[in-house]
Amino acid sequence: MIGILVVTHGDLGKELINSMRLIAGMGEKCEAMSLNIGDDIMSLKEAVSEKIRELDDGGGVLVLTDILGGSPFNVSVSNLNQKNVEMITGVNLPMLIQACNMRDAYSLQELVTSVTECGYKSIQNIREKLKIQEGAI
């Protein structure tokens, strides 16, 4: 099973996982790590590397971060030199549900493609999509 690690600012990752479990009732081998005010960046970097090793049972690990170039991203990206580690930034709830739901059906590389597409598709301008005129509702 592909492990999933969500690394974010504050409790965002933890709460995304809690919401995913509420909606979909899944979440085995899916964990969150966070950066909070006053945390040591180097300690988080080491902890992320260790957690990736713990989550990898041979299927690899998908790391999801919140902001491209943010500290959680920066401490996580150095793990891409490890075999069977992939990373996507801009995590949202639909992406996390997709990752947990499809990780047994796909290879790690296929999962990255699927989750990235899901992320793109989950962001919609509803007025434009439904072609609603202003003041029509």
CATH number at residue 108: 3.40.50.510
Tell me what pLDDT residue 136 has: 65
**And the tokens for 77?**
């990206």
Q: What is the pLDDT of residues 45-96, one digit of tens each?
A: 999 999 999 999 999 999 999 999 999 999 999 999 998 999 999 999 999 9
Task: Tell me the angle at which helices 12-24 and 93-102 cross, rounded to the nearest 10 degrees.
Answer: 60
- Residue 122 resides in a domain: yes
pLDDT at 26: 82
Check pLDDT > 80 for residue 8. yes
Average pLDDT estimate for 30-54: 97
Residue 137 belongs to some domain of the structure: no
pLDDT at 27: 80
What residues make up the domain containing 126?
A: 3-130
CA–CA separation, 103 and 101 (whole Å)? 6
Residues 11-28 pLDDT 10s: 999 999 999 999 998 888
Domain count, the chain: 1
117 CB neighbour count, 10 Å cutoff: 12
Task: Give 92-131 pLDDT, tens digit per residue.
Answer: 999 999 999 999 999 999 999 999 999 999 999 988 888 8
pLDDT score of 127? 87
Please tell me which residue, 136 or 36, carries the higher pLDDT value.
36
